[in-house]
Chains A and B, each alone.
Chain A
Amino acid sequence: MSLSIALTKGRLEKNTVALLEQCGYGIESLKDKGRALVFQDTKKDIRYFLVKSNDCITYVVHGVADLGIVGKDTILENSQDYYEMLDLECGKCKFIVASLPENDLFHKVGHIKIGTKYPSVAKDYFLKRNMDVEIIKIDGSVELAPILGLCDGIVDIMETGTTLKENGLVVLDTVHEISARVIVNTAAYKLKREEIMNVLQDLQRMVNQDVKKDR
């Protein structure tokens, strides 16, 4: 049976396409994609489509895509019914808590405000620490919010830490490590088990090779 795989556009795209190529899949059209959004594998009975990270989960949950490759950040923010079966160990970064150095929110007495693009992640994190904070959803340039006094601190993704440093913010804690994951639709896993396991095994093999190379 044919498979559909939803790939996340942007940050993870290059890594995942490279990984699929290493696996020997026919992904030429994905590398030279023009304006197309749906791509047929030239060697296997697989269809790929490129979507935004949140949509990747939506497509998999509805079974439109059998598999999806998406960052752990998106998974943490949208936990729904799907299987999360593989860590691709690429696209690594982390969720962090940061604030201005003079504003250590972990020792503040009083009302604490946190700006973030990821309200669920932030809420879970502070709940676990038994802290009652107010979450303010911000859509872009989250670093700006504490500088302008909108909030005491932020929960955000950090890749290199340069942006934070340039804005004079310090990292107070790591919330979660992030990397690209493979998610699977629950019903597809039952009905197309063999095809799905083949893809997962191919990817796992490449990940293991890459990890060895790094060491």
Chain B
Amino acid sequence: MKKIYLPSGMRDNILSEAKTKKELQDCFEKVFESYGYSKIYTPSIEFFSTYQNAFTNLNSNSMYKFFDQDGNILSLRMDMTVPIARVCATKFKDYQIPLRFYYSCNVFKVRESFAGKRNEVTDCGVELIGLDKKNDVEVLMCAFDAMKTLNVKTYAIECGDSGLFKKACNLLNMEDETIEKLADLIDRKSMVDLKIFLDTLNLEPHQKRFMLELPLLNGDISILSKAKKLCFDESLKEKIEELEGIYTLLSKLNYHRHLRFDLGKIAHLDYYTGLIFEGFIEGVGVSVLSGGRYDKLLSKFGMDVPACGFSIKIDYLLDVIKHSSKKSCKLFYPQDKEVEALLMAANLRKEKNVELIPWQKENIWIKEDETDVIIDSVDERSS
């Protein structure tokens, strides 16, 4: 059988989609560079054990795996944070911190077939390594600046604290299995099943209320004060006060208009230790930006420093953001006027992109180009 189609979840990016993708990448990279991050490339293939080392609850089914000639399990990288943590711990061990890296790389995840999901996406992001939570605001500011370059009216970056839920569970002495189930229900805001499940646990009414309200504690700054009233322990309040601190700082910088909070956010990746955040824009059904603080990840690779970062999934933006690249045109010319045509084109290139197309007619003709349709030029050539 001829393989003329793509494996599940793979996509070609062509024409305007490819253009937009390149432009978005350039925009984001400009922002990242302006914050002092430097570009990094890592291999697409890592040892599977590198990921096993990074995560305690790694879903190995979601990784592409294969063998090398010695029988070791290899995998396509599923994110850039783990490879960068590996690089820092092995190649920058005695380097002066902080380290700042940005990347635009393709990452791979196996997802269900026939659901319109993408298994390979371009991740564009930053990692700030060596600075602790006092510097969360800098990273958030960078995320806001990246979102701003999209020029969309309706967007939001939503913050939560991965420690809030964990801390609450610890205070209640819950078993791992209970925590896992509870995390899943809260994360999916599965209100019906959450209530039923909480009724089976032996909790005080105010503790139960906290857990039950957690998924609904989302919105603007006002929900933080509401949340504080529900906290059943001072240490939980402290976590919320940290988020308030972030809000205060960002509002002083006038970066608070699109800031939201969701205290029911449960970190999907177990390496997150504090702040977690996600970005949403109108018209895209999933989060387009995600990140957070991971203070323990690098120590798993032998370098005990805190870190924070985020990434933007460019591919999810392609359906809603249209490219705005400089004008382009097509210049049709007969073979005997080649020199004249090339000179004209060279002049035009100062302000627009010029595509040269030989044809059978006797004159030179310039067609301003608004669309991507290539077919029409073929028609014109034959006419």
Interface residues of A (CB under 8 A from B): 1, 58, 61-64, 80-87, 181, 184-191, 193
Task: Establish whether residues B156 and A190, one from each chain, have CB atoms under 8 Å apart when the complex forms.
Answer: yes
9 closest pairs, A vs B, by CB?
Answer: A63-B285, A83-B189, A87-B192, A84-B190, A187-B280, A190-B280, A62-B285, A85-B191, A187-B285
Question: Is B154 engaged at the interface, CB distance under 8 Å to the other chain?
Answer: yes
Cβ contact within 8 Å between B286 and A186: yes
Minimal beta-carbon separation of A109 from chain B (angstroms): 30
Say yes or no: A84 contacts B287, CB within 8 Å. Answer: no
In the complex the two chains form, what is the Cα distance from A81 to B184 in whole Å? 11
Say yes or no: A190-B285 contact (C-beta < 8 A), given A83-B189, A84-B191, A85-B191: no
Given A61-B115, A193-B219, A187 and B190 contact (CB-CB distance below 8 Å): no
Please name the residue on chain A nearest to B285 by beta carbon. A63
Q: Is B284 an interface residue (CB 8 A)?
A: yes
**Chain B residue total in the interface (Cβ 8 A):** 25
Asked if A193 meets B218 with Cβ closer than 8 Å, knowing A84-B191, A87-B192, the reply is yes
A84 & B193 in contact (Cβ 8 Å cutoff): yes
Neighbouring A residues of B262 by C-beta, 8 Å: 190
What's the nearest-Cβ distance from chain B to residue A55, in Å?
11
Q: In the bound complex, how far is the Cα of B152 from the Cα of A191, in angstroms?
A: 13
On chain B, the residues within 8 Å of A189 by CB distance are 189, 218
Given A82-B188, A83-B188, A190-B262 in contact, is the A185-B285 Cβ separation under 8 Å? yes
Per-position binary interface string of chain B over residues 213-244, scored 1 when its CB falls under 8 Å from any chain A CB and 0 otherwise: 00100110000000000000000000000000
Q: B188 contacts A187, CB within 8 Å?
A: no
Q: Do the beta carbons of A181 and B192 come within 8 Å of each other?
A: yes
List of A residues within 8 angstroms of B205 by Cβ: none
Q: Chain B residue with minimal CB distance to A62?
A: B285
> Which residues of chain A come closer than 8 Å to B192, judged between CB atoms?
84, 86-87, 181
Selected from B115, B158, B284, B286, the residue in CB contact (under 8 A) with A58 is B115
A61 to B116, CA, bound (A): 10
> Quick one: closest B residue to A65, CB to CB?
B285
CB<8 Å pairs between A and B, sample of 21 = A1-B154, A58-B116, A61-B115, A61-B285, A63-B284, A63-B286, A82-B188, A83-B188, A83-B190, A84-B188, A84-B192, A85-B191, A181-B192, A186-B286, A187-B285, A187-B286, A190-B156, A190-B158, A191-B154, A191-B280, A191-B282
Would you call B100 an interface residue if the criterion is a C-beta within 8 Å of the partner chain's C-beta atoms? no
B293 an interface residue at 8 Å Cβ cutoff?
Answer: no
Determine the chain A residues whose CB is within 8 A of the CB of B215 once the complex forms.
Answer: 83
In B256-305, the 8 Å CB interface with A consists of: 260, 262, 280-287
Q: Provide the residues of chain B in CB contact with A185, threshold 8 Å.
A: 285
Closest-by-CB residue of B relative to A181 is B192
Q: How far is the CA of A11 from the CA of B262 in the complex (A)?
A: 35
CB distance from B279 to the nearest CB of A (A): 9
Instruction: Give the one of B188, B218, B282, B283 with max A CB within 10 A.
Output: B188
B281: chain A residues at CB < 8 Å are: 191
Bound complex: CA A85 to CA B215 (Å): 10
Q: Please indicate the chain A residues that have their CB under 8 angstroms from the CB of B191 in the complex.
A: 84-86
Extra 18 A-B pairs, beta carbons < 8 Å, given A61-B285, A185-B285? A1-B282, A62-B116, A63-B285, A80-B115, A81-B188, A81-B286, A83-B188, A83-B215, A84-B191, A85-B191, A86-B191, A186-B287, A190-B260, A190-B280, A191-B155, A191-B281, A191-B282, A193-B219
Residue-wise interface mask of B (341-354) relative to A, using a CB-CB cutoff of 8 A (1 in contact, 0 not): 00000000000000
A12 CA to B190 CA in the complex, in Å? Answer: 20
With both chains docked as a complex, state the minimum distance between the C-beta of B372 and any C-beta of chain A, in angstroms: 24
Residues of B within 8 A of A1 (CB): 154, 282
> For the complex, what is the distance from the CA of A80 to the CA of B90, rounded to whole Å?
37
Nearest A residue to B112, CB-CB: A80
